[in-house]
Structure 1
């Protein structure tokens, strides 16, 4: 049953926007406190637009990108609220996932936040996070998660990141962290390289227990977990001295990240297929990468 009111959509979109504002402010504060001769990075903000096949307005959002900062080499924090009708390919993909009613009514609404950070210091891990809500006339659900992508792995960083996620998941169900960690391990795997993209995190999709308030609260806590989980790792590493060998490892790892996002990532495919701003969709790609 899909009995949501417009207020549910309004609240979800407002939450993603407030989370975006909090993260942008926190990242700019990290830049201010890093020190050094370089100018601290700030975000360039631009509006994004989605246009339907008939040329009508179909929503949009904000793209916030920082380039060349003291700590962040490139980081994007996007929020969007889009709507309209799904094209044939997207309809078929939704139907294949078991979304009811797609053949009869292709209308949809979606809102979310998406973030990818690539760091100056190779010893500081890259990171990805997103949370979203999706609605069709036949169903609604939440999805998202976050995962750590270090070029140089440190066991204490991995343990800290995962523990912080688990602490935020556990109040919503003792099995959620384990289930969604396993899903992340499977989802963020690069088959043609026979390896994981990073050290994992959590990933979930189609999350609908039938209780919208509970599912929204869980998704909010997934978002709230991000800053303490990631910035804990940033603080531990951002002042460390790195070598050219470290930078080489980082650039090669970024190549792996780019391969995954262009070949396998659901969000990339959905964004491009539904006509969203290509620059916003491909914001996740690193500024510089290397292939051996």
Structure 2
């Protein structure tokens, strides 16, 4: 076996390992969210039926009709706790279109000008809640490969329409606890990155109370970088579930619901105008319903 083929085999193993991890994380989150639905026996929405995820296979469209990968779109609507929540995974590959190739080259991806092949796998989650006291949330982690480079990206951020300082503190503390074993500098750097990335310029404000975010992460040590992205994923449930469990039985007013709908409008604006993942998914031919899963079921603009 040549050195080139050995490297290619090792990278394929790493791709398979990453894709399997994203699938396992998806399964864990889906199970935890359905358990929340089952245990919601008090509060304003307890009389509703417990929500369940509807699972649909998605496919990426390639220009020549060849296999280009796909994934699973898992969406729950109208539950006791979740008004709409999606937990999607995908593994897609092929050749980037000219626009996406140009964007990657502009980001400094090595060799992208000459070889537009790519492979990408990841998980993406967005939850919009029935109770306006329960915060909306976003999380994704992903691995991206081109012939010239590979990297990891993602993070999670909290998007309450009614803010509670103790909830924000808990969410950030759990993120920090999972990042600190990888180096004390990770949490402040990734928190600052999230604050910058999830800012809505045309509104002059953040879309939520922040979290952590990174992209193009490649230290040259695949195992170490994968371990970091795993811990970003592992932080999600302990950071988020206690907040939902604490707030899900609170009563709310029509004014509270109005605040929630207006905040969802801000979330929709960000995802449609600025979000890098939304742009990449649409430009590379992935299932549009899966890409736009992040949009809320109802929103309002003043």
Q: Determine the C-alpha separation between the residues in 2 that align with 1:2 and 1:225.
A: 31
Q: Secondary structure at the match of 1:99?
A: coil
Q: Secondary structure at the match of 1:193?
A: coil
- Give the RMSD, CA atoms, in angstroms: 1.1
Structure 1 partner of 2:18: 12
Report the alpha carbon displacement of residue 2 of structure 1 after superposing the two structures with TM. Answer: 8.8
Report the alpha carbon displacement of residue 51 of structure 1 after superposing the two structures with TM. Answer: 1.6
Structure 2 partner of 1:74: 84
Q: Secondary structure at the match of 2:29?
A: helix
Partner residue of 1:34 out of 40, 53, 60 = 40
Q: Determine the C-alpha separation between the residues in 2 that align with 1:260 and 1:127.
A: 14
Q: Give a deviation string over 1:48-89, Cα, whole Å, max 9, x none.
A: 000211121100000000000000000000000000000101
Q: Determine the C-alpha separation between the residues in 1 that align with 2:104 and 2:241.
A: 35
Does residue 181 of structure 2 align to residue 171 of structure 1?
A: yes
Q: Determine the C-alpha separation between the residues in 2 that align with 1:195 and 1:2.
A: 44
Does residue 192 of structure 2 align to residue 186 of structure 1?
A: no
Partner residue of 1:49 out of 42, 53, 59 = 59
Structure 2 partner of 1:125: 135
Q: Determine the C-alpha separation between the residues in 1 that align with 2:240 and 2:260.
A: 18
Alignment of 1:50-199 (within 5 A): 50-199=60-209
Q: Determine the C-alpha separation between the residues in 1 that align with 2:268 and 2:124.
A: 16
Does residue 239 of structure 2 align to residue 229 of structure 1?
A: yes
Q: Secondary structure at the match of 1:5?
A: helix
Report the alpha carbon displacement of residue 5 of structure 1 after superposing the two structures with TM. Answer: 2.0
Report the alpha carbon displacement of residue 272 of structure 1 after superposing the two structures with TM. Answer: 0.1
Does residue 282 of structure 2 align to residue 282 of structure 1?
A: no
Does residue 247 of structure 2 align to residue 241 of structure 1?
A: no
Structure 2 partner of 1:261: 271
Q: Determine the C-alpha separation between the residues in 1 that align with 2:112 and 2:8.
A: 13
Q: Determine the C-alpha separation between the residues in 2 that align with 1:63 and 1:254.
A: 21
Does residue 34 of structure 2 align to residue 24 of structure 1?
A: no
**Runs of 5+ consecutive residues of structure 1 not aligned to the other structure:** none
Q: How many residues align?
A: 292
Task: Give the alignment's TM-score, normalised by structure 2.
Answer: 0.95
Report the alpha carbon displacement of residue 103 of structure 1 after superposing the two structures with TM. Answer: 1.3
Q: Determine the C-alpha separation between the residues in 1 that align with 2:61 and 2:99.
A: 17
**Runs of 5+ consecutive residues of structure 2 not aligned to the other structure:** 1-6
Q: Secondary structure at the match of 1:11?
A: helix
Q: Secondary structure at the match of 2:60?
A: strand
Q: Give a deviation string over 1:265-285, Cα, whole Å, max 9, x none.
A: 000000000000000000000
Does residue 221 of structure 2 align to residue 215 of structure 1?
A: no
